[in-house]
Chain A
C-alpha cells in the first residue's frame, strides 16, 4: 500500500507539479516543433515515452555498475548521451524492421529524440534524486507521460488556433509561446501539491 502511494505521488509530481516541459523547461524544441498536428504529436509522444523509459533503465545501470564502481562519475555526461544516442539508433532500426508502417509515421522524429533535453534530463535527475532502479524506470515513464500530455494538449490548441484570427506578427512561434505560457500558468496551480 505504501508503495502504491509512493508511486502515485511520483506520478503526480512528474506529470503535473513538476511537469518536464512547463515547469522544468525540458523538451521544448520538440514541444514547439512537433505540436502543430495532433497525430504527429501523439506519435512523437509515444516514441518519447518509450525512449525515456528505456534511457532511464540503461543510464541507471551504467551509473551504478560502471561509473560508480570505477569512480568515473565525471564521465557521466559522455556516457549518458552516448547511451541515449545508441538507444535511439537501435530503436529506429528495430521499428524499421518490425513495424514499417509505424516507422513511416514516426521515422523522421526518432533521431530528434536524441537531442531532446528531457531524455538526458530525466537520466541525470534519476541519479540526483537517488532513485532505485525501479524508481528510475518509473520516473522516466512518468516524465515521458507528462511530456506527451502537454504535447498533445498543445497540438489540440494549435490546430484550433489555425482557424482563429491571429495577428500577423504573432503567427507561428510567438502564439505557440503564448499558449505555452497559458498552459504553464494553469499547471502552476499544481505547485505545492503533495501526497
Chain B
C-alpha cells in the first residue's frame, strides 16, 4: 500500500474510534470540551508516531517472546515525556486532562498499532500509519467534543456560539451525555455506511 493510503486509512475507513471501537476511555473522558479533545488527540498522536518509529527501528532486535513488554516500555517512555513536557509548558491543559495523560499508555490504539503494524513494517510506512491513526483518533475526539460542548455549553473552543438565552443541555457535558452522544453518532455513521 502506498504511504499515502497508509495515512488516509486511519482517518475514515479504519477510524480507530468509530470503526474499530478502540481507545474508548479517553474518547468519552476528555470530550467535554473541544480544547481537551484536541489536546488529548495530539498528545496521543505524538506518542503513537514516536513509538511506531522506535519499535519499527528496533523490531529485529527484540525476541518475539518479550515484544509486548518491550513495546510497553517504549510507549510508556513517550507517555512520560508527554506528561512531563505538558506539565511544564501547558499546565492548564495538563490539569484538565488529568489522569488520562498517563492512561495514554493503555490506549489500545497505540499498543494495537505497534503490534499490528510497526512491529512488522519499515519505519516510513509506520510513521504514516501512526499519523493516520492518531489524526483519525483526534478527528473522532473533536467531532464528539464539538457535539458535547455545543449542546452542553453553547460554546465551541470556549467561544460562545449560541445566544445567551440558550439553556444548555447540561447532560451532554456530564458522564451520561458522553455515552449517549457516542451512541447516536455511531448510529448515524452506520446509517451513512448503509447508503
Contacts and interface: CB of A to CB of B under 8 A. Distances in A.
B69 interface: yes
B159 interface: no
Contact of A177 (B107, B108, B180): B180
Contacts of A125: 99
B62 interface: no
SS class of chain A's interface: helix, strand, loop or mixed?
helix
A4 interface: no
Interface residues of A, number: 46
Given A75-B80, A115-B106, A25 B69 contact: no
B102 A169 contact: no
B72 A85 contact: yes
B170 to A, nearest CB: 11
6 closest A-B pairs by beta carbon, nearest first, are: A177-B183, A181-B179, A25-B29, A181-B180, A174-B187, A184-B176
Interface of B: 21-22, 24-26, 28-29, 68-69, 72-73, 76-77, 79-80, 83-84, 99, 102-103, 105-108, 111, 171, 174-180, 182-184, 186-188, 190-191, 194
28 contacts: A23-B175, A24-B29, A25-B178, A32-B24, A76-B102, A77-B79, A77-B102, A81-B106, A82-B69, A82-B73, A82-B76, A86-B69, A115-B106, A115-B108, A117-B25, A120-B103, A120-B105, A128-B99, A169-B187, A169-B194, A173-B186, A175-B183, A176-B183, A177-B179, A177-B183, A178-B180, A178-B183, A188-B176
